[in-house]
Chains A and B, each alone.
Chain A
């Protein structure tokens, strides 16, 4: 079973609106990462948040992490049509495990 699961599965918004995607996971993590994928090919790393961090910003991206609820959210502010893509959260389990486990992703469509 997958460690991380995103919600919603699909999101459709207008340009200028904010987009929020959520990720829940099952076991203790070392860090959590968000990736973006265009057109079903290679993924691009967006942001990494460690288990001892609660919030991180990068440009129009804001990520929060709540380890007590085992959840994270990715907020994209002032969305653009170019933000249309699939977004995945990925977790690194604590305890010396190094493999990155991905969720099923959220498909975001931003309409002009």
Chain B
């Protein structure tokens, strides 16, 4: 596709259930990011994938959160035993250039997955 695609766009779940969010980055983009945005707040960094390097998981808030990426394509963010404080929009972004010399370039964002935990 032309842009970053995320699914589902909306997810309502009950506390304690597991959820899986999916991100399809732009083809050829080696870097992929997940962010969380609570209502009216900024973006909170969760995890970053760059090619075949070990992901930077430093932003994951607890061990209930995990993410995987298959090569340089699809990524899934899994939240186990969801809690009400997990309610937020989860944004995925990809980038073509992400290297030590130039630093991260422009990020292309998906429309996000809005998660509501009842």
Whether both chains belong to one complex is answered with yes
A30 contacts across to B, CB distance below 8 A = 102-104
**Smallest distance from the beta carbon of A44 to chain B beta carbons, Å?**
7
Residue from B50, B98, B109 within 8 A of A43 (CB atoms): B109
Q: In the assembly, what is the distance between CA of A105 and CA of B98, in Å?
A: 24
B33 contacts across to A, CB distance below 8 A = 99-100
Residue contact A105 to B89, C-beta cutoff 8 Å: no
Residue contact A43 to B91, C-beta cutoff 8 Å: yes
Give the number of residues in A that approach B within 8 Å (Cβ atoms).
Answer: 25
Within 8 A of A (CB), among B41-87: 41-43, 45, 48, 50, 56, 59
Residue contact A41 to B107, C-beta cutoff 8 Å: no
Residue from B35, B42, B106, B107 within 8 A of A105 (CB atoms): B42
**Smallest distance from the beta carbon of A42 to chain B beta carbons, Å?**
4
Q: Contact flags (1/0) for A5-38 with B, using CB distance below 8 Å?
A: 0000000000000000000000000110101000
Give the number of residues in B that approach A within 8 Å (Cβ atoms).
Answer: 31
B25 at interface by CB-CB < 8 Å: no
Residue contact B42 to A88, C-beta cutoff 8 Å: yes
Q: Which secondary structure dominates chain B's binding surface? A: strand
Residue contact A48 to B105, C-beta cutoff 8 Å: yes
Residue contact A88 to B91, C-beta cutoff 8 Å: no
Q: Contact flags (1/0) for A87-112 with B, using CB distance below 8 Å?
A: 01010101010111111110000000
A102 contacts across to B, CB distance below 8 A = 35, 42-43, 45
Q: In the assembly, what is the distance between CA of A98 and CA of B110, in Å?
A: 19
Residues of B within 8 A of A (CB): 4, 31, 33, 35, 37, 39, 41-43, 45, 48, 50, 56, 59, 89, 91, 93, 98-100, 102-112
10 closest residue pairs by CB, A with B = A30-B103, A104-B42, A102-B43, A42-B109, A92-B103, A45-B106, A42-B111, A43-B109, A96-B100, A92-B104
